[in-house]
Amino acid sequence: MEVTRQRVDDLRVRQLRAQQMLKGDLTDADLEEFVQERLIFTKFETAQNWARKNCLFPLGFGLACCAIEMITVIGSPRNDLARFGAEAIRFTPRQADLLILSGRVSIKMAPIIRRLYDQMLEPKWVISMGACASSAGMFNNYSLVAGADKFLPIDVYVPGCPPRPEALIYGIMKLQDKIMGTPDEGWRERYKAHGTEERSEGAGVA
Amino acid sequence: MTEFDPVGVPYRERERSVTMERMGEEPVSGTEAPVEGDRHDELLTINFGPHHPATHGVLRLLTTLEGEVVRDVKPIIGYVHTGIEKSCEDQQYWKVITFVERMDYLAYYFNAMAYCMAVEKLLDIEVPPRAQYLRVAHMELNRIASHLFGLATGALDLGAITMLWWGCRDRDLVLDLFEMSSGQRIHPRYFQVGGVIEDIPPGWEAKVREFLKIMPERLDQYLNLLDRNEIWLQRLKGTGLITQERALELGVTGPLLRATGHPWDLRKAMPYSSYEHFDFDVPIGLHGDNYDRFKVRIEEMRESVKIVEQALDGLPEGPWITDNRKVALPPRHELATSMEALIHHFKLVTEGFRVPPGEAYVAVESPRGELGCFVVADGSAKPARVHVRDPSFVNLQSLPDMAKDSLIADFIACIAMLDPILGGVDR
Amino acid sequence: MPDATGLELIAQRVRDRLGGEAVRDTVFFRGEATLEVAPEAVRATLAFLRDEDAEPWESLMSVHGCDYLPDEPRFGVHYQLLSMERTDRLNVKTRVGIEDPSLPTVVDMFPTAEYQEREIYDMFGVVFDGHPDPRRILMPEDYEGFPQRRDFPMGGEPVLYTFNEDSYPRWYD
């Protein structure tokens, strides 16, 4: 609505006004103005997504060298994940909603990861951290599953061997954009190149 | 494989035996610890891992418990098996360095060092002294980082979570130094066959000395936090005992063997890469319990600080990689003027250097024990066999001995102080 | 390392104790001593070197295997011995062929060999008679094949470029 009256920014005045509100002393016009200044209108999904993205619970799961960088992200005071609300690591998949797949996925481990993923409750997201979890990395041989997206739907791929902690945090921020419903489309957004994604028929959404 | 049925029970059958439904039934033979009398309905075989907060990586432990007491432990490994040794047979010698670095992923310089030393032995080339000192400096810094991380996660397992923040904070300082010298924090491919890939940048020495000044105070801080903590002492003292004879029988090396009182350290016993020029002590423990392992690691960090200081003080001038152009890349300014340099560069980058046929086994002292690398060369540009004798793989065999008849909490402390790195165990 | 003459003396002592057929070869290469013995005599050689020799070697540091294809006999098993008193290493090596890839186990003499022999079985298929727990250790238990043999394929997936990505069947096909 059109606001023609002056915005009262003085802290003391605001405090007194809040005090009056609590006592029930504000009259109609003042009360309306008070409430309007503090009201946000949004869709339910947006609010829900905002709550979800700012409070991710990662599953404490690390496989190989990328796990060291992941623990550095979670545990080091320099790059720490608590700024993003994701510091509460849950070691049981029932209470976690973010699976950071950090490290090489061997054929012996793959069914176990799938079981962990199945035990997580909706909504859940997966970040594939590092080159070995996204593709086979540098190990293109008999004992690795070439990319965890063969058996898991992955939301964000973070490349690197191992990715720097800042890169993992960037990946988590991209995931937060995706949760919010406004996924970061990168260069397609910058160059207005929507419609150039490659899709082949039969590409199932796992 | 199917005709060779080892224990008489196929794997799926054995796996089913540890589910809840079979609790009241007869145990599948071959899966449980031998029992006396009719006590076996008090024994419970459960699975620790492969996904568990108290394991250092994906280690699966089939534990047989009687109440809260651990009667038997069978580690099952192989969940991070990456086939690195097989992949190495397909790569040129200098590319193998990146593969071998990723085995024991906390002590990456040591893996590369063992491999480079083995190939240098096969090629019979000399490493210049400046490269030797730089290698020693980087390896000792890596030892500090590895012990810090081991203590950080070990303390996290035992509940002293502050140590995780502090350990990671100091480890970040060390990784900054690595990033300054080689460009990458972890797995930097800094050691090459014949020396190191690049000289240290100006300012690196000053930064290292700054770090070395604060490190002993930080160690005292950790001891202040942990060493006088009643809970920490009670959890670690007297738990996880292993005798020296048993440790030697099992091939255990490194801080675990030194904690039992045996002063075997390859840096002193069979010095390599000019370790004999440095003056440092080898800390040993008295009893062989978890507390001794913890103290040995802290003191080793102190000694490493001394070694790095001496290495920097005595850093000789000179080339940082061997002059043998058939093995090491020529410096770039020569490529514009010398035809041979261009040809060498081309051959080295496309085909790689050839190694005359032979076999070599070289061992270094990594933070976990004796890390050996066995290289078989057949005259071509790719190795015929690279095998790494990983210390964690052999040290893991001592876990059943350490954990026998101990409570679960002490068992967790054993794993924490054993410090296995599953990348090295599984390769 | 025992030098070349020391190695010859050790080989002579082993021959005296176990018969002339036991020792096949001695190699002294770049300061490393290797004693090649016949597969039947490996256990006796290690027992002799540990217990009765004038210079005993009490620690087994590593047991590792190697596939020497196309060189027959194919599989080599190396026992890396260490003497902490004299800070010395000796490598004892045997070769077995593929028709009978079996060796007696040394776990009762050197308990450290337990996991390492399992790994050699897993990767090469060399069977160790008398091993207390002869299962696969690194690969899944029902895996078929022995990965580190030279004729086992590397596996993995072909790298997709634009020229072959359409012809390569995807997992959802």
Task: Summarize pLDDT for B226-280 with one digit per residue, the tens.
Answer: 888 898 888 888 888 888 888 888 889 999 999 998 988 989 888 888 898 998 8
Nearest-Cα distance to chain C for B408, in Å, is: 24
Write down the pLDDT at residue A147: 83
Q: Token pair of B93, please?
A: 């010698």
Q: Where is mean pLDDT largest: A79-93, B155-169, C49-63?
A: B155-169
Q: With 0-12 CB in 10 A as exposed, 13-18 as middle and 19+ as buried, what is B53?
A: middle
Smallest Cβ distance to C156: which of A140, A202, A203?
A140
ipTM for this prediction: 0.90
Cβ(C129)–Cβ(C105) under 8 Å? Answer: yes
Q: How far is CA A68 from CA A156, B104, B313, C168, in A?
A: 19, 12, 32, 35
Chain C residue numbers with beta carbons less than 8 Å from the beta carbon of A107 are 140
Residue B144's pLDDT is what? 94
Q: Which of C139, C153, C157 sits opposite A136 (nearest CB)?
A: C157
The answer to whether B389 faces chain C, any CB pair under 8 Å, is yes
Query: Any idea which residue has 């080091």 for tokens?
Result: A76
Q: What is the pLDDT along chain C (173 residues), one digit of tens a residue?
A: 567 788 888 888 888 888 777 788 888 888 888 888 888 888 888 888 888 777 888 888 999 889 888 887 889 999 999 888 888 888 999 998 888 888 888 888 888 888 899 999 989 988 888 888 888 888 888 888 888 888 888 877 888 788 887 787 776 66
Cβ of A106 and B81 within 8 Å? yes
Q: Give the closest of C156, C159, C170 to A142, CB-based.
A: C156
Decide if pLDDT at B142 tops 90. yes
- Nearest by CB to B81, which of A60, A76, A108? A108
Question: Closest to A142 (Cβ–Cβ): which among C154, C170, C173?
Answer: C154
* Of B141 and A197, more confident: B141
Which pLDDT score, from 0 to 100, does residue A198 have? Answer: 62
Q: What is the 3-state secondary structure (H, E, C) of chain B?
A: CCCCCCCCCCHHHHHHCCCHHHCCCCCCCCCCCCCCCCHHHHEEEEEECCCCCCCCCCCEEEEEEECCEEEEEEEECCCCCCCHHHHHCCCCHHHHHHHHHCCCCCCHHHHHHHHHHHHHHHHCCCCCHHHHHHHHHHHHHHHHHHHHHHHHHHHHHHCCCHHHHHHHHHHHHHHHHHHHHHCCCCCCCCEECCEECCCCCCCHHHHHHHHHHHHHHHHHHHHHHHCCCHHHHHHHCCCCCCCHHHHHHCCCCCHHHHHCCCCCCHHHHCCCCCHHHCCCCCCCCCCCCHHHHHHHHHHHHHHHHHHHHHHHHCCCCCCCECCCCCCCCCCHHHHCCCHHHHHHHHHHHHCCCCCCCEEEEEEEEECCEEEEEEEEECCCCCCCEEEEECHHHHHHHHHHHHHCCEEHHHHHHHHHHHCCCHHHHHC
Q: Give the model's confidence band at A4: pLDDT under 50 very low, under 70 low, under 90 confident, else very high.
A: very low
* Of residues A161, A120, A128, A166, the one with CA closest to residue A145: A128
Q: How far is B176 from chain A (nearest CA, A)?
A: 12
Per-residue pLDDT, averaged over B376-403, amounts to: 90
Q: What is the pLDDT of residue B39?
A: 53
Query: Do the beta carbons of residue B196 and residue B127 sit within 8 Å?
Result: no
The nearest CA of chain B is from the CA of C76 a distance in Å of 11
Q: Which of residues 25-64 of C touch B (CB under 8 A)?
A: 29-32, 34, 58-62, 64
**Band (B47; pLDDT cuts 50, 70, 90):** confident
Given a contact cutoff of 8 angstroms between Cβ atoms, the answer to whether B29 and B20 are in contact is: no
- Provide the chain C residues 94-153 that lie in CB contact (below 8 A) with chain B: 110-112, 114-116, 119, 123, 127, 133-145, 147-148, 150, 152
Q: Angle at Cα B287 formed by Cα C83 and Cα B252, nearest 5°? A: 35
Mean pLDDT of A152-156: 88
| Per-residue pLDDT tens digits for B69-84 | 888 888 888 898 988 9
Cis peptide leading into residue B6 (ω within 30°): no
At C139 the three-state DSSP class reads: coil
Does B387 lie at the interface with C, CB-CB under 8 angstroms?
yes
Instruction: Give the closest-approach CA distance of C153 to chain A in angstroms.
Output: 8
Say whether pLDDT at B306 is over 70.
Answer: yes
The pLDDT of B384-409, averaged and rounded, is 89
Interface check C66 vs B, CB under 8 A: yes
Give residue B5's pLDDT: 45
Chain A residues within 8 angstroms (CB to CB) of chain B: 60-65, 67-69, 71-72, 75-78, 91, 103-104, 106, 108-109, 112, 116, 132, 138-144, 161-162, 164
Residue C172: list chain A partners with CB under 8 A: 202-204, 206
Nearest to B87 among A64, A116, A141 (CB): A141
A164:B185 CB<8 A: yes
Tens-digit pLDDT profile for residues B320-360: 888 888 888 888 888 888 888 888 888 888 888 888 998 99
**Chain A CB contacts of B422 below 8 Å:** 64
Mean pLDDT of B5-20: 54
Contact C156 A203 (CB under 8 A): no
Q: What is the CA radius of gyration of chain B?
A: 24
Nearest to B51 among A64, A112, A138 (CB): A112
Residues of C in contact with B1 (CB under 8 A): 136, 142-145
The pLDDT, as a whole number, for residue B365 is 92
Mean pLDDT over each residue of chain B, to the nearest integer: 85
Of B398, B399, B405, B412, give the one whose Cα is nearest residue B70. Answer: B405
Using the Cβ of C24 and the Cβ atoms of chain B, whether some distance falls under 8 Å is answered with: no
